[in-house]
């Protein structure tokens, strides 16, 4: 099908397809042929290899990044009457878990370039009820952790890192997750590496030991320790925990993906470079930044439309790309405009102007190690064609 001089391809290009090969399939089949498919030896191997890959002090495999954040708050004893400072520019789960433990989320605005939480806004929001700061490493670009950590240390409060995006990302040479802060990663289907659903919580070994109990019903022993030949059936429930464990089937996928991650990252950077070259000098777009002191994981490539250059808005831009068989997304709908939070706390759209005004013009472009050169060529051609058709 042709649109003027532009020919629309027949096959849809998904926004972020998982890149799963025969190695992962073989690892999963190997698990299915054993007598153990839930949390067991493959999960423990995955935790160990993740620690070795990124220098983490200790790790706990869980069923989602959300679970890791919830476990972190519960393990640290944060609850009713406490406040946790975080960003409105995130997926709702970051803030939902604060509500789950009975604490109050305190939202502060973001920086105009990275769209990460603003350290100065954090400092201004501290009260005697503040118990934690929850920075989100948006799009894979690490937050300004030295400044954030200094604020936390000055006030004696915790830092819990939402690392859903930055697996393999680095801040000033330090890999995200290699410190002692509770840090929660996501392996959701669209992430840089995937276990379909799943996550990893890293941090200080003593903290991870306590978090492990919280993550599985508050039991003193997990099923593997009870049902293995060397185990015993007795266990004690020492607190009312959750059901947040990862299975060996998921971990099998993770083991294969972890071994390929460096190659995946190299491919993502190639695609990012192509996008930068195509869109970087265009008056129609603002491209994402990578500050010199960080190494982004490039989980997302978020274009921001320059509204004055267009006759259409962001929503129509997305629809036009969809009509050309290109999948995109928006990351994220600001938390403060969702009905639950707007009604409970009385938030208005412009309470966080940097967050909201950038949300109105952002589009997450297709980015996956699975995307081919031909697909990227087509995406670039289609996007530039739209710019010419709808220039102001």
Catalytic residue set: 191
DSSP state letter for 243: B
- Tell me which residue of 139, 194, 176, 218 sits closest to 59, measured CA to CA: 176
Q: How many residues does the chain have?
A: 392
C-alpha to C-alpha distance for 325 and 231, rounded to whole angstroms? 54
C-alpha to C-alpha distance for 57 and 64, rounded to whole angstroms? 20
CA 207 to chain CA centroid, Å, is 22
Beta bridge partners of 365: 301
Count of other CB atoms within 10 angstroms of residue 176: 28
Phi and psi at residue 93, in whole multiples of 5°? -60, -30
C-alpha to C-alpha distance for 313 and 169, rounded to whole angstroms? 32
C-alpha to C-alpha distance for 222 and 139, rounded to whole angstroms? 34
What helix, strand, coil percent values describe the chain, rounded to 5?
A: 40, 15, 40
C-alpha to C-alpha distance for 55 and 190, rounded to whole angstroms? 24
- Tell me which residue of 67, 73, 293, 272 sits closest to 170, measured CA to CA: 293
Task: Scan for tokens 């950038």, then name that residue.
Answer: 358
C-alpha to C-alpha distance for 310 and 305, rounded to whole angstroms? 8
121-132 burial string, b = 16+ CB within 10 Å, else e?
Answer: bbbebbeeebbb
Contacting residues for 156 by C-beta, under 8 A, at least 6 apart: none
C-alpha to C-alpha distance for 125 and 103, rounded to whole angstroms? 15
């Amino acid at each position: 099908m042709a649109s003027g001089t532009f020919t629309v391809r027949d096959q849809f290009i998904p926004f972020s397809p998982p890149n799963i090969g025969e190695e992962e399939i073989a690892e999963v089949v190997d698990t299915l042929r054993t007598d153990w498919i839930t949390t067991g030896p493959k999960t423990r191997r995955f935790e160990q290899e993740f620690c070795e890959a990124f220098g983490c002090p200790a790790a706990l495999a869980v069923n989602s990044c959300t679970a890791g954040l919830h476990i972190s708050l519960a393990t640290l004893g944060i609850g009713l009457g406490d406040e946790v400072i975080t960003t409105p520019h995130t997926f709702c789960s970051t803030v939902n878990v604060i509500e789950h433990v009975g604490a109050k989320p305190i939202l502060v605005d973001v920086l105009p370039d990275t769209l990460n939480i603003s350290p100065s806004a954090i400092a201004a929001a501290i009260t005697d009820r503040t118990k934690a700061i929850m920075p989100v490493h948006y799009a894979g670009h690490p937050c300004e952790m030295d400044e954030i950590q200094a604020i936390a240390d000055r006030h004696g409060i915790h830092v819990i890192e939402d690392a859903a995006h930055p697996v393999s990302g680095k801040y000033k040479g330090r890999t995200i997750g290699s410190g002692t802060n509770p840090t929660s990663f996501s392996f959701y289907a669209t992430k840089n590496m995937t276990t379909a659903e799943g996550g990893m919580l890293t941090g200080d070994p003593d903290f991870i030991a306590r978090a492990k109990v919280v993550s599985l019903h508050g039991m003193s022993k997990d099923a593997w320790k009870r049902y293995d030949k060397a185990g015993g059936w007795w266990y004690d429930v020492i607190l009312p925990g959750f059901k947040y464990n990862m299975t060996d089937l998921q971990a099998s996928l993770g083991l294969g993906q972890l071994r390929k991650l460096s190659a995946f990252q190299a491919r993502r950077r190639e695609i990012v470079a192509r996008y930068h070259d195509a869109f970087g000098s265009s008056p129609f777009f603002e491209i994402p930044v990578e500050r010199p002191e960080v190494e982004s994981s490039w989980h997302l490539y978020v274009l921001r439309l320059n509204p004055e250059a267009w006759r259409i808005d962001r929503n129509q831009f997305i629809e036009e790309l969809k009509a050309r068989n290109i999948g995109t997304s928006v990351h994220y709908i600001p938390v403060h405009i969702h009905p639950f939070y707007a009604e409970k706390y009385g938030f208005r759209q412009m309470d966080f102007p940097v967050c909201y005004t950038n949300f109105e013009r952002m589009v997450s472009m297709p980015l996956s190690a699975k995307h081919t050169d031909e697909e990227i060529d087509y995406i670039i051609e289609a996007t530039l064609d739209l710019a010419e058709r709808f220039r102001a």
